[in-house]
Amino acid sequence: MSLTDEEYWKKSTLESFNFDDEDEPSASLSPAEGSGEPVFYSSLQNSAVLPLHVIISKWGLDTILQDTRLPAEMRLYSTEETIKKLFLGLPCVLDNYRSAEQKLDLLQRAVETADGNIILKVVLFLEKTLKRSLLHKYLSKYKLALIHYYNYLIQENKYQELNDLYMAVGNTKDMMNLFYIPCQNFTSRKRIQSELDKFLNESGYVISDYNRNLLNGFRTFLDLQKGDTANKSVTELLATLYKEHYTNNSPIQDATTFSHTMKLSTSQHEWILVNVMAAHQLWDSLTDTFVKPSLFKKKVKSSVNTESILNALFRHNSPKRVLEQFLVCIGDNERSLQLGKKMYCHSFVINKLIENRDRLGLIEYRRFVPSQSEEYFNLEKNLCSDKKWKN
């Protein structure tokens, strides 16, 4: 049944379009659309990662990669060019030198530069690429390279390699380093003794007789270090033995035997004895030991210089009478006067000036002599005398 126009517009089930529609978005929208997230992001997240062989076959991939592998030609520089690059600090590769002739030439040119860094770099390359015996053979031809390699092994504490190198090149005179250098930082006397015994057992037959005797003497010295003397040097220990003799009447042979065992020189022995006697104020014993009368004048019988003895006595506040006995033993007249003035030995200086008939010298020196002293009266008495002066 047909509807009239008026009935159509009233009864139509069609909804008119309303521009003011503010209804919420339809629930049928996808989560991505309703969440505000980018659509493409969501799709990428949910997409599966495809294996590479789906896109391209393995054969095709290998072909492409093979075409891109362009082998770089490694240019082999001459040894001279390589050393120049090392000298200028430019990067270079030493591994390209593989023959023994090339390596020996490289070492020779490195030594010619006299540059320790270059020499050591080449030597370490040879160490890495050569047999140990061949390395030692090459190094034995160049003393400078040996020295730098010695120092490197010592710095790196590679003492077994250092021992092998010493033996290979016949450098037995430096083998003492294998004992002395490692023991420098040892504080335990027992450990030092243990290392010394080990070294003597392993290398004692190689080192010289002089060095062997030196180490045996050191072994004896370690045995003598006991109690309070454990950390004392040879000279300090000898001084201690002399102190024991003069304070506790211990046998003087202990000191003399020790000095002989340690091979101390006569001057070392006597210098220690002078200082010990002076420290204990054994003035009479000191002069009896070192000042000997001769036909015309007294002489100092000692390997130690007379001036050195005088300075030691003056430092220990020796009495003036003791200083004067050594001053008269100095042959140089002017020098003895200078020392006498320096050490305030007024009696000696005055008598020396009188002996020289130096009246002006006496007048000048009078201001240094304490007034009302015996020396002052002696000086005035001689100035007033009728002596024949030279000035």
Tokens at residue 335, please? Answer: 């020098």
Instruction: Give the pLDDT of residue 140.
Output: 92
Tokens at residue 77, please? Answer: 């520089």
Return the ∠ at Cα 97 (arms to 96 and 102), rounded to 5°: 160
**If pLDDT is split at 50, 70 and 90, which confidence band does 260 have?**
confident
Percent of the chain at pLDDT above 70? Answer: 82
Is the pLDDT confidence value at 196 over 50?
Answer: yes
* 42 vs 125 pLDDT, higher one: 125
Is the pLDDT confidence value at 45 over 60?
Answer: no
Across 181-195, 222-236, 302-316, the highest mean pLDDT is recorded for: 302-316
3-state secondary structure 366-384: HHHCCCCCHHHHHHHHHHC
Is the pLDDT confidence value at 19 over 60?
Answer: no
The string of pLDDT tens digits covering residues 313-347 is: 999 999 999 999 999 999 899 999 999 999 999 99
Is the pLDDT confidence value at 233 over 60?
Answer: yes
The string of pLDDT tens digits covering residues 357-389 is: 999 999 999 999 999 899 999 999 999 988 888
Q: Is 390 exposed, middle or buried (0-12, 13-18, 19+ CB in 10 A)?
A: exposed
Is the pLDDT confidence value at 356 over 60?
Answer: yes
Instruction: Give the pLDDT of residue 44.
Output: 47
pLDDT, average across residues 137-155: 93
Residues contacting residue 252 through CB under 8 Å, at least 6 positions apart: 242, 245
Instruction: Give the pLDDT of residue 312.
Output: 96
Instruction: Give the pLDDT of residue 40.
Output: 47
pLDDT, average across residues 223-247: 81
Q: Residue-wise over 34-59: b if at least 16 C-beta within 10 A, else e?
A: eeeeeeeeeeeeeeeeeeeeeeeeee
Residue 144 has phi, psi (to 5 degrees) of: -65, -40
The string of pLDDT tens digits covering residues 54-90 is: 777 777 777 776 655 444 445 677 888 888 988 888 8
| Single pTM value for the model | 0.56
Instruction: Give the pLDDT of residue 202.
Output: 86
The string of pLDDT tens digits covering residues 269-293 is: 999 999 999 999 999 999 999 998 8
Q: Within 10 A of 328 (CB to CB), how many other CB atoms are there?
A: 17
Percent of the chain at pLDDT above 90? Answer: 46
Is the pLDDT confidence value at 192 over 60?
Answer: yes
Is the pLDDT confidence value at 8 over 70?
Answer: no
**If pLDDT is split at 50, 70 and 90, which confidence band does 252 have?**
confident
Is the pLDDT confidence value at 307 over 80?
Answer: yes
